[in-house]
Chains A and B, each alone.
Chain A
Amino acid sequence: MNNSITKNQLFFLVIKTQIGIGLLSLPSDIQESAGGDAWISVLGSGVVIQLLILAYWHLCSRYPEKNLSQMTVLFFGKYIGRAVNCIYYGFFVLIAGYACTLYVKLIKVWLLPLTPSWVLILLIIVIGIYLAVEDLRVIARFYQLASVLLFVLFAMSLATFVNDVHLSNVLPVGQAGISQIFKGSGKTFFAMLGFEVILFFIAQVKASPREVMKTLTLANCFVTLFYSYFVFICLIGFSQEALSKVKEPVLFLLRGLSFQLFDRLDLIFLSIWIIPMSTTIVSYLCLAGKTLTTTRKTYQRMVRISGVLILMLAIYMSTRESLDTFSKWMEYGYLIMIAAVPLLMWTMSFLLLSYHKRRLT
């Protein structure tokens, strides 16, 4: 089966999964703890992710052409391994459903206040499934194409320098103190989730491990810098008090702009941002399919079933008043799944490698 992807495509798969709805509200979330040093928190979080990626990569390069769900079976045995995969599946569906809910809530606030949630969720998921049932290569190509929009968004953000900006808001650097910056890093980490897709996609990359690592590092640097750039422009564009009150500062920042031809840049920005938000959901749909199935046919069926599950979950969640307790619970659970479990497997791999090698050959 020829469904390998190039290292460039891996790059876009990772960045498009990571960049999503989290960024829009990130600056005010971290500013709460890290204050004017919030942008350092993002960089710190990037370093932590880089370490995790290093472990992932090392693990994956020891078991070439095996993705996470195949590895769990190898490590924990048939039954426990499958159970672990089922948990992974559950989390991927939950994350996709949660992202979908946030996404729809955002669109309802800013763009379509009167449209019922289920219509929006249905539209997103149907289109998501349509892309996710295809080969990884097709998905990657779409991501590659859609990445052009990131540059459009970046160009748009440059316009915010027309507003009053005060570099003094972030000065003196380091005013918040190390512990507060770390606290901010923790919050950023959850907004930057999505890098775990590499555990599944590395297996299909046609490149030497060295090149893969280079690509992954590049992707992580790109996302970290992209995020810290947006946090930074929010910090210098808002006063501290205003920033702490705004829900989506990245959008709000564009509200003050007006040009001869364009007005309400925030709405244009959000309309484009819909695509990075959707690609996140597509990635999780794809992961959900990959955790439990191996053949193409079952994969497609699994994606469709997951889509329906996500749809129901998202419709249920969008009727809930508050998702705070749920999101907290889910974030920590997910942290165990993407950090603790792979790290455990990685340490186990030192002990078991020779045994596995014998068995695999």
Chain B
Amino acid sequence: MKKLIPAVCLGILLLLPGCWDAKMLINKKLVNGIALDTQENGQILGTVKAIILESKGGGQFDVKDKLAQSTGHNIPEIGHKMDSMLPGTIEANKAFVIIIGDELAHQGIMPILEFFYRLPKAYLNTKVLIAKGQGSDILSVPEVENNPIAFDIKQMVNSSERTSLVPSQTLYSLWNQISDPSEDTVLPIIRKMSNGALVIDSIGLFNEDTFTGVTLARNDSSLLMLLKDKMSSVAWLDIPLGESVVSFEVRKMKRSFKVTVNDQTQSIESKIRIDLYGNIDSYTGSPDWIIDSKQLSKELAESLNKQAAKITGILLKANCDAFGIGRKLKVSHSELWKTIDWKSKYPEVKITPEVHIHITSTGALK
């Protein structure tokens, strides 16, 4: 008996599990990029790029993309229709990017994405992007040197994140931000340039889960990331100064973020001060190229202050609480927080940004 039980257990263990849930890789159609757009009839147009592995013999594979399109009311419906179009079972659980067309994003993105959160198999590290125009146009860009386009897009997002141009957003982080009433989110925007190449160089502002249509271009978006204290390893700022442009590379930063409420008028005020430390990459403002650190940092700060004030103005107008002022308010003034409707109160908030520049290095030149 003592020997029989383990033998039987081992037998069962070896034979049974996996019988039902075994899935062969060759039967799968792996989707690596999804684009979602609106359609005239209220349905959603889904475009996917699926990977096809073609054996070249000798254990080598050619990776090829295949494009498929169908319409439906939600993602699973689109997926089911697509499953009938493609050979193999469709698997959306390893998609690298989800691109949402701006029109669809304007109607709210959470109901569309719900499927991914509900599905235990789904991969939540997918990057979410907003497309300027149709998402399907982005995904159907011809591939470069046999590199699947979704990989390319993912790498573009990663490099933009590294230089603090766009926030690091995944499906996972997105849900927590959007469902939190005390903060609003921003998402990277991808667009197609006139020569057909793709570019990610701006961010779109969200009000709860709807895309406001307001975008911040390159320089503004970098500065917003810095004001949000979301610098990754480095941030590049190209600051126009007179005729020339000064390139400043931020290496380190400090932020102080305060929210105060006036007791009498109940008006909310927020002060954001950032101290940027970094080096000058290029300066041709003076004829001899020599930098007067003190003078230059003052001029740069002045220019950035103006730019920051413009950005906060845009945020207030778009009703996008990207800084999480609501979150601060909730903690420090919880009584007030309970009584106000934050979304209607936010545009009246006074935000005072303050930028300070500290030049730590001017490179190999003086």
The interface of chain A, by Cβ under 8 A from chain B, is: 109-116, 119, 122-123, 126-127, 129-130, 163-164, 166, 168, 171-172, 175, 237-242, 255-258, 263-264
Q: Does B123 contact A (CB under 8 A)?
A: yes
Given the interface contacts A109-B120, A123-B13, A242-B175, does A171 sit within 8 Å of B125 by beta carbon?
no
Give the shortest distance, in Å, between B8 (CB) and chain A (any CB): 7
Q: A123-B12, A263-B125 are in contact. List 8 more A-B contacts (CB 8 A).
A: A112-B20, A112-B21, A114-B21, A164-B177, A168-B327, A171-B330, A237-B176, A238-B176
Write the B170-191 contact mask toward A (1 if CB under 8 angstroms, else 0).
1011011101111000000000
* A residues in contact with B8, CB < 8 Å: 126
Residue pair A116, B327 in contact (C-beta under 8 Å): no
**Interfacial residues of chain B within 213-241, with CB under 8 A of chain A in the complex:** none
Residue pair A116, B179 in contact (C-beta under 8 Å): no
* Candidate in A123, A239, A240, A257 with the most chain B CB atoms within 10 angstroms: A239
Give the shortest distance, in Å, between A144 (CB) and chain B (any CB): 21
Q: Does B16 contact A (CB under 8 A)?
A: yes
Given the interface contacts A123-B16, A175-B334, A256-B125, does A164 sit within 8 Å of B176 by beta carbon?
yes
Residue pair A130, B21 in contact (C-beta under 8 Å): no
Write the B328-351 contact mask toward A (1 if CB under 8 angstroms, else 0).
101100100000000000000000
* A residues in contact with B177, CB < 8 Å: 164, 239
Residue pair A119, B17 in contact (C-beta under 8 Å): yes
* B residues in contact with A126, CB < 8 Å: 5, 8-9, 12
Distance, CA A115 to CA B6, complexed state (A) = 22
Residue pair A123, B17 in contact (C-beta under 8 Å): yes
Q: Does B124 contact A (CB under 8 A)?
A: yes
* A residues in contact with B6, CB < 8 Å: 130
Residue pair A240, B124 in contact (C-beta under 8 Å): no
Given the interface contacts A110-B120, A239-B176, A239-B177, does A168 sit within 8 Å of B328 by beta carbon?
yes
* B residues in contact with A127, CB < 8 Å: 9
Distance, CA A126 to CA B6, complexed state (A) = 9
Residue pair A255, B172 in contact (C-beta under 8 Å): yes
Residue pair B12, A239 in contact (C-beta under 8 Å): no
7 contacts between A and B (CB under 8 A): A119-B17, A119-B20, A122-B12, A164-B173, A242-B175, A256-B172, A257-B125
The interface of chain B, by Cβ under 8 A from chain A, is: 5-6, 8-9, 12-13, 16-17, 19-21, 120, 123-125, 170, 172-173, 175-177, 179-182, 327-328, 330-331, 334
Given the interface contacts A109-B120, A119-B17, A241-B179, does A256 sit within 8 Å of B12 by beta carbon?
no
* A residues in contact with B13, CB < 8 Å: 123
Residue pair B17, A171 in contact (C-beta under 8 Å): no
* A residues in contact with B176, CB < 8 Å: 164, 237-239, 242
Given the interface contacts A166-B327, A255-B124, does A112 sit within 8 Å of B5 by beta carbon?
no
Residue pair B21, A256 in contact (C-beta under 8 Å): no
Residue pair A242, B179 in contact (C-beta under 8 Å): yes
| Ranked 10 nearest A-B pairs via Cβ | A256-B172, A239-B180, A241-B179, A114-B20, A258-B125, A115-B20, A171-B331, A112-B21, A239-B176, A239-B179
Distance, CA A111 to CA B179, complexed state (A) = 27
Given the interface contacts A110-B120, A130-B6, A239-B179, does A172 sit within 8 Å of B173 by beta carbon?
no
* Candidate in B6, B13, B176 with the most chain A CB atoms within 10 angstroms: B176
Question: Across the A-B interface, how many residue pairs have beta carbons closer than 8 Å?
Answer: 78
Give the shortest distance, in Å, between A298 (CB) and chain B (any CB): 16
* B residues in contact with A109, CB < 8 Å: 120
Closest to A116 in B: B20
Q: Contacting B331 at CB < 8 Å: which of A110, A111, A168, A258?
A: A168
Closest to B326 in A: A168
Given the interface contacts A114-B21, A256-B172, does A130 sit within 8 Å of B328 by beta carbon?
no
Closest to A264 in B: B123
* B residues in contact with A257, CB < 8 Å: 125
Q: Contacting A172 at CB < 8 Å: which of B5, B12, B331?
A: B331
Distance, CA A110 to CA B21, complexed state (A) = 12
* A residues in contact with B180, CB < 8 Å: 166, 239-242
Distance, CA A238 to CA B172, complexed state (A) = 10
Residue pair B17, A112 in contact (C-beta under 8 Å): yes
Closest to B94 in A: A263
Closest to A113 in B: B21
Given the interface contacts A122-B12, A242-B179, A264-B123, does A115 sit within 8 Å of B328 by beta carbon?
no
Closest to B23 in A: A114
Closest to A172 in B: B334
Distance, CA A122 to CA B172, complexed state (A) = 36
Distance, CA A241 to CA B208, complexed state (A) = 13
* B residues in contact with A130, CB < 8 Å: 5-6, 9
Distance, CA A123 to CA B8, complexed state (A) = 10
Residue pair A119, B16 in contact (C-beta under 8 Å): yes
* A residues in contact with B21, CB < 8 Å: 111-115
Residue pair B20, A163 in contact (C-beta under 8 Å): no
Given the interface contacts A112-B17, A114-B21, A241-B180, does A256 sit within 8 Å of B170 by beta carbon?
yes
Residue pair A163, B173 in contact (C-beta under 8 Å): yes
Distance, CA A112 to CA B120, complexed state (A) = 11
Give the shortest distance, in Å, between B280 (CB) and chain A (any CB): 32
Give the shortest distance, in Å, between B183 (CB) and chain A (any CB): 8
* Candidate in B13, B177, B331 with the most chain A CB atoms within 10 angstroms: B331
Distance, CA A259 to CA B113, complexed state (A) = 23
* B residues in contact with A166, CB < 8 Å: 180, 327
* B residues in contact with A264, CB < 8 Å: 123
* A residues in contact with B125, CB < 8 Å: 256-258, 263
